[in-house]
């Protein structure tokens, strides 16, 4: 099977691509524009790992470049698309709105139109827990009405879901939108709290804890996330789907607890300063795991203790500390 993975040099894209390449039954066509939203060294390092596989081919291209995307579809007989490329980040969307419009909305639209043109009928795409925004419920279930996003990033993901519902219905594209909940792990994203905290602790700099440290998150370890995606590929292949699902780790964890684990693994005490709630921040995220369990009979395996340990070990090795 030939799978096109967008954002393959990104955090989730890299881990998923590697997992599928190891299976050897897949040929992966990876695309990424390698933008400098965060340290590109990390993106090139991930790509270097992927290029070791013979069944991998890479193109540096943006989703906005419709003609180039079409050329890739015309060259390879792609059976399946996994869209992970996006401009991520909540606070960044306040200052750089254009990038969210271009990458996440125009880019996604280009991809869908190209799939339509080349008759590709299977898709998984990345959405986000941020879509839940200001919903009143403490547990986020997929059937809740999500009409109160609080950042342009979240809005762009909601628009993706709405687009997909239309393309799925009208053009018969079997698809699932994956609402990821705070995915973390080795080769992770430097703009995310666990990564920033590790760097700041290591450099003995002050950490500002937003919302006075009272945030909590449903952390998802990268291997668990990848396991879900692999199972969802199978599902979309076997059955006509047009739905959304939460992908989460299954435990509500306070940011303070996560910070303690990083301190323990680095054996350094953090310097902490408390700050009020920041723009776009959802205070707590906790997924209702029922739908995911029903769809793929999945139970998260990795504890935060183990996951943070793996991340810290990777961090120390990668940055040669
Ligand atoms: N990591 C998480 O916790 C999390 C949570 C919710 C949703 N998501 C979503 O999951 C997906 C993957 O996230 P990630 O953590 O791997 O992020 P990432 O930023 O590490 O990966 C995204 C990759 O896409 C590439 N890219 C961005 N815009 C592009 C464009 N227009 N054309 C081509 N390539 C482009 C980037 O260079 C990057 O390598 C994203 O859509 C993100 O919004 C992630």
User: Domain residues of the chain, as ranges?
Assistant: 2-185+219-250+282-302
Instruction: Reduce the DSSP state of residue 254 to 3 states and report it.
Output: strand
Question: What's the CATH fold of domain 2-185+219-250+282-302?
Answer: Rossmann fold (3.40.50)
Pocket probe for ligand 1: among 6, 46, 85, 229, the residue whose CB has the most ligand atoms within 8 Å is 85
Could you report the per-residue pLDDT of 263-297, keeping only the tens digit for each? 999 999 999 999 998 887 888 899 999 999 999 99
- Backbone φ/ψ region at 246: left (φ over 0), alpha (ψ -120 to 50), beta: beta
Identify the residue whose C-alpha is closest to ligand 1 atom 30: 62
Angle at 265 between CA 256 and CA 192, to 5 degrees: 50
Distance 267 CA to ligand 1 centre (A): 31
The secondary structure element, H or E, covering residue 183 is: strand 183-184
Angle at 272 between CA 270 and CA 274, to 5 degrees: 160
Distance 32 CA to ligand 1 centre (A): 9
Residue 296: is it exposed, middle or buried by C-beta count within 10 angstroms (0-12/13-18/19+)? middle
β-pairing, 80-83 vs 216-218, is unpaired
Residue 141: is it exposed, middle or buried by C-beta count within 10 angstroms (0-12/13-18/19+)? middle
Could you report the per-residue pLDDT of 107-135, keeping only the tens digit for each? 999 999 999 999 999 999 999 999 999 99
Query: What is the reported pTM?
Result: 0.97
Radius of gyration of the chain (CA): 19
Q: Two tokens at 213?
A: 């440290």
Q: Two tokens at 49?
A: 């790992």
Q: Which residues participate in catalysis according to the annotation?
A: 153
Q: Two tokens at 132?
A: 């839940």
**pLDDT tens, per residue, the chain with 321 residues:** 999 999 999 999 999 999 999 998 999 999 999 999 999 999 999 999 999 999 999 999 999 999 999 999 999 999 999 999 999 998 899 899 999 999 999 999 999 999 999 999 999 999 999 999 999 999 999 999 999 999 999 999 999 999 999 999 999 999 999 999 999 999 999 999 999 999 999 999 999 999 998 889 999 999 999 999 999 999 999 999 999 999 999 999 999 999 999 999 999 999 999 999 888 788 889 999 999 999 999 999 999 999 999 999 999 999 987
């Amino acid at each position: 099977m030939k799978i096109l993975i967008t954002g393959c040099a990104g955090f989730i894209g890299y881990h998923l691509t590697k997992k599928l390449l190891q299976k050897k039954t897949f040929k992966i066509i990876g695309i990424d524009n390698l933008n400098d939203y965060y340290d590109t060294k990390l993106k090139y390092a991930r790509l270097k790992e992927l290029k070791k596989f013979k069944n991998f081919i890479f193109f540096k291209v943006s989703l906005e470049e419709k003609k180039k995307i079409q050329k890739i579809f015309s060259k390879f007989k792609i059976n399946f698309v996994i869209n992970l490329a996006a401009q991520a980040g909540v606070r960044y969307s306040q200052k750089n709105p254009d990038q969210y419009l271009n990458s996440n909305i125009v880019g996604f639209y280009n991809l869908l139109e190209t799939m339509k043109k080349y008759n590709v009928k299977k898709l998984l795409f990345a959405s986000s827990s941020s879509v839940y925004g200001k919903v009143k419920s403490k547990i986020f279930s997929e059937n809740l009405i999500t009409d109160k996003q609080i950042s342009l990033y979240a809005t762009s993901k909601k628009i993706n879901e709405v687009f997909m519902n239309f393309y799925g219905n009208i053009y018969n594209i079997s698809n699932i939108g994956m609402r990821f909940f705070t995915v973390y792990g080795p080769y992770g994203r430097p703009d995310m709290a666990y990564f920033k905290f590790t760097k700041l602790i290591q450099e003995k700099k002050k950490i500002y804890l937003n919302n006075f440290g009272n945030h909590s998150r449903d952390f998802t370890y990268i291997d668990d996330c990848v396991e879900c995606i692999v199972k969802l590929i199978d599902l979309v292949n076997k059955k006509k789907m047009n739905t959304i699902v939460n992908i989460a780790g299954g435990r509500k964890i306070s940011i303070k607890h996560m910070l303690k684990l990083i301190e323990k693994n680095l054996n350094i005490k953090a310097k902490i300063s408390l700050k009020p709630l920041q723009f776009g921040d959802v205070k707590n995220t906790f997924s209702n795991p029922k739908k995911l369990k029903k769809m793929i009979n999945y139970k998260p395996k990795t504890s935060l203790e183990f996951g943070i340990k793996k991340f810290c070990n990777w961090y120390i090795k990668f940055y040669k500390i």
